[in-house]
C-alpha cells in the first residue's frame, strides 16, 4: 500500500493548503507548478535561475550589511528508491509535504525554501549566526521525521533528509563556489548515512586570505 493511500486525509490537507496559496501565485505571475512552497514565493520561468537569483540577492544583502550568510542544501534521503517504490504521485506528495515542513520551521517570515531537482531544496539565510543556522538545520531534520512518512526502502522506515550547511562572510560580487561548498557538504553528509548534517565554515579561510593580502 502506498503512502498516499495510507495517509489520504493528510494529503487532502496538504492539497487544500496549496489551493489556498493559488491566489497569491496568480497575482505575482504565472505559476511554474509546485516548485516552491514558502512564506515568500518567487515566480521565475526557470527554477535554477530562481535559486541563483536568491543566492545573489542574499549575498548582496549580507555583503552590504557586513554580516554572515548561511546556505542550506537539503535532499530527501534515498529519493530514487522512494520513487521506484511508490511512484510519481506519492513522490510528488512526499516532496510537497517535506517542503512545507521545512518552510514551517524557518526562523523568519522572509526566509524562503526553494525546490532543487527532483527531491532537493535550498534555503538561503542572510544575517543568521552560524549556531542559529545549525539549530535551524536540526529543526528541519526533526520536522521531517515528525511527518512519519513511510519509506520502506530506508532502514529508518520513514522519510528523512540530509543537509549541507555553508557559512561565509560575503564580499564583492556573488561567488558560485559558495553554493558548491554547500552542495559538497550535503554529499559528505550523505556518504555518512541518512538524516545527517555536515557544515563548512568558510570564514576562517577568508580571514586568513584577507590578512595575507
Residue 67 pLDDT: 94
Q: Is the pLDDT of residue 174 over 80?
A: yes
**d(C-alpha 204, C-alpha 33), whole Å:** 40
Q: Is the pLDDT of residue 10 over 90?
A: no
Question: Is 80:95 a contact under the CB 8 Å cutoff?
Answer: no
List phi, psi (to 5°) of 113.
-105, 125
Which of 26-35, 44-53, 84-93 has the largest mean confidence?
84-93
115 strand-pairing partners: 121
Q: What is the pLDDT of residues 39-67, one digit of tens each?
A: 333 444 455 888 999 999 999 999 999 99
Q: Is the pLDDT of residue 91 over 80?
A: yes
| 0.85 exceeded by pTM | no
pLDDT band at 12 (very low <50, low <70, confident <90, very high): low
From residue 20, alpha-carbon distances to 7, 8, 47, 173 in Å are: 20, 18, 22, 38
Residue 187 pLDDT: 97
Question: Is 163:125 a contact under the CB 8 Å cutoff?
Answer: no
Percentage of the residues of the chain whose pLDDT score is greater than 90: 68
Q: Which residues contact 185 (CB under 8 A, 6 or more apart)?
A: 73, 164, 165, 166, 198, 199, 200
Amino acid at each position: 500500500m502506498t503512502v498516499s493511500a495510507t495517509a489520504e486525509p493528510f494529503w487532502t490537507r496538504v492539497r487544500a493548503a496549496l489551493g489556498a496559496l493559488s491566489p497569491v501565485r496568480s497575482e505575482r505571475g504565472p505559476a511554474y507548478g509546485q516548485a516552491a512552497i514558502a512564506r515568500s514565493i518567487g515566480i521565475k520561468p526557470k527554477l535554477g535561475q530562481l535559486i541563483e537569483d536568491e543566492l545573489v540577492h542574499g549575498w548582496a544583502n549580507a555583503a552590504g550589511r557586513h554580516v554572515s550568510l548561511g546556505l542550506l542544501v537539503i535532499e530527501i534521503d534515498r529519493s530514487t528508491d522512494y520513487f521506484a517504490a511508490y511512484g510519481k504521485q506519492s513522490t510528488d506528495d512526499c516532496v510537497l509535504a517535506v517542503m512545507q515542513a521545512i518552510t514551517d520551521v524557518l526562523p523568519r517570515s522572509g526566509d524562503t525554501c526553494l525546490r532543487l531537482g527532483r527531491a532537493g531544496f535550498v534555503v538561503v539565510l542572510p544575517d543568521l549566526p552560524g549556531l542559529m543556522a545549525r539549530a535551524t538545520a536540526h529543526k528541519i531534520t526533526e520536522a521531517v521525521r515528525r511527518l512519519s512518512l513511510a519509506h520502506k526502502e530506508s532502514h529508518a522506515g520513514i522519510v528523512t533528509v540530509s543537509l549541507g550547511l555553508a557559512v561565509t562572510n560575503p564580499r564583492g560580487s556573488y561567488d558560485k563556489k559558495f553554493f558548491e561548498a554547500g552542495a559538497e557538504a550535503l554529499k559528505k553528509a550523505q556518504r555518512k548515512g541518512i538524516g545527517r548534517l555536515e557544515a563548512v565554515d568558510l570564514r576562517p579561510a577568508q580571514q586568513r586570505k584577507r590578512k595575507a593580502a
